[in-house]
Chain A
Amino acid sequence: MPSARCSMLERAPQDDRVTEVRPVAFRGAGFVPKAGRASGWTALALVIALWQLAGSAGWVNPLFLPAPSAIAVALYKLAMSGALWQHVSASVVRIGSGWLLGTVAGVIIGFAIGLSTLARGVGITFISALFPIPKIALLPLLILWLGIGEEPKIATIALGVFFSTAISVYSGVDAVPRNLIRMAQSFNVPFHAIVTRVIWPGALPSILAGFRITASVALLLVVSAEMIGAQFGIGAFVLQAGNLMQTDQLLAGVVILSLFGLAVGKAINVLETRLLHWR
């Protein structure tokens, strides 16, 4: 009695012309990209090395594109002179205050829009009308209203942060599965507890994604605002360096901005890992 396997193998093709046996071709490859950390750093190192080579070999005019080593030296000198901290601290205070103000207001208004019919009707209309305005265009008006001190710069950043935050918060509230809210209601859980224990954690992924965007918005606005009217700050420093054709210092300022952006991104990653570990 042949085994099942034998009998299947014995089922030889009836047609003598069809004798070739070949494996089924694999068609499932691709569409699952993975971020390789090593390849990313290697590529970055290669670009910097190439840039340095171009600078050292005199292929590019250092006035237009100083070599990375020149930028590092400029950064070092800035740090040693104390000017770096003066500019960085001025920008950090503006970004911190503006971002915090805009975020608090955005979260409150976003939740109101997400939870109240009246607030939704009014709020979405205003946000739709005002969100597209480039907030930096309001800086002259804010200077008229608030004077030439820190307030108009902080207010510009706060306004830019506010709209994006409000939108991400009410989108997040809208995205909380309704079945979870109905579940809580079915257990007579009070309104405030539904907000804090169901809606807030449910909206948190969207809110944190919004933070990532608003951090970039704040950085963009602080540089713009400082370029328009400030003595200290990274934006002011970059503008002054540009005016004096000190491109090594200009790029040192850009490197600081880049590092700042990376640090904020990293901080948000840490927040996401801690707060959204359940995903």
Chain B
Amino acid sequence: MTDRKRTHMDLIADHISHRFGGLDVLDHVSFTVASGEVVAIVGPSGCGKSTLLSILGGLLRPSEGRAELRGAPPADSLNPLTFVFQDFALLPWCTVEANVEFPLVHTALDAATRRAVVDDALKRTGLTDFRGAYPKQLSGGMRQRVGIARALAVRPAILLMDEPLSALDSQTRELLMEDFIRLLADGAMGAVYVTHNLEEAVRLADRIVVLSRRPGRVREIVDIPMTRAERGAIDARGKLLALQNDLWSLIREEAIDAEREVQHA
């Protein structure tokens, strides 16, 4: 882990615009995710958050602009930009262990190393006892843990998380949020965290990119003026709530407009 901190890899959104047919979804979105930094992307429904994440992760070609990497990923990283999906995207015919191993099978790692990497990822996510289970046998929270273990197995430099908690109940969300805070605590791994949930954004992110309604533009970039460790303190809660309210006031009107637009669509 110490070695991983010495390398730096920034992810840059450089004037990214995107169109689906005649529909403008993103309009010249630019920001940088510095090495080890957690950046949340929030905005009204349909503002292009997930589209932006797909472009940043190389799964979608932007109509204009580009996603860039600056610097080198950690030497041991097998997939510097790694997604954690909202719907978990687990292979239902594979056990937990096989799901976690899936992205490793086609790498140069030998079987023993793969096994060790999988064991470590399962241990870090508390899944060791469930390695032989199939996804259908797991709760939503456990399935997302498998998704996280699979992401950790390839030792990413930056996690790209697309509303990873939105399909889960509130208690499971809380538990997984604690897991995310713990996993990102040492700054060895950065993250782009797309969410509707402003509470999640202020708890996890170092910076929050607020997008306008469609076509999504960067409306504001908000710095969170305290470390994640400090945010756990009781007296920090008031400040976080105030930040959350500020964010909400930034997007409230547009969220209402976006909702009306969805209803009329």
Contact = CB atoms under 8 A, between A and B. Distances in A.
A255 interface: no
Interface in B130-182: 134, 136, 154
B125 interface: no
A278 B136 contact: yes
A111 B208 CA distance: 44
A27 interface: no
A31 interface: no
Interface residues of B, number: 21
Contacts of B85: 179, 183
Of the candidates B79, B82, B89, the one having the most CB atoms from chain A within 10 angstroms of its own CB is B89
Contact of B92 (A183, A186, A190, A278): A278
A189 B103 contact: yes
A187 B79 contact: yes
B23 interface: no
Interface string A183-199: 11111111001000110
Given A187-B82, A187-B103, A190-B106, A278 B59 contact: no
B182 to A, nearest CB: 23
B89 A187 contact: no
Main secondary structure of the interface of A (DSSP, over half): helix
Nearest to A189: B106
Main secondary structure of the interface of B (DSSP, over half): loop
B57 interface: yes
Nearest to B54: A182
B72 interface: no
Interface in B86-114: 87, 89, 91-94, 102-103, 105-106
B134 A278 contact: yes
A197 B102 contact: yes
A55 interface: no
Contact of A279 (B57, B92, B105): B92
A180 interface: yes
A140 interface: no
A186 B59 contact: yes
Contacts of B79: 186-188
Interface in B52-98: 57-59, 79, 81-83, 85, 87, 89, 91-94
Contacts of A189: 102-103, 106
B68 to A, nearest CB: 18
Given A184-B102, A201-B91, A278-B92, 15 more contacts: A179-B87, A180-B91, A182-B59, A183-B83, A186-B58, A186-B59, A186-B81, A187-B103, A188-B79, A188-B103, A189-B103, A189-B106, A190-B106, A197-B91, A278-B94
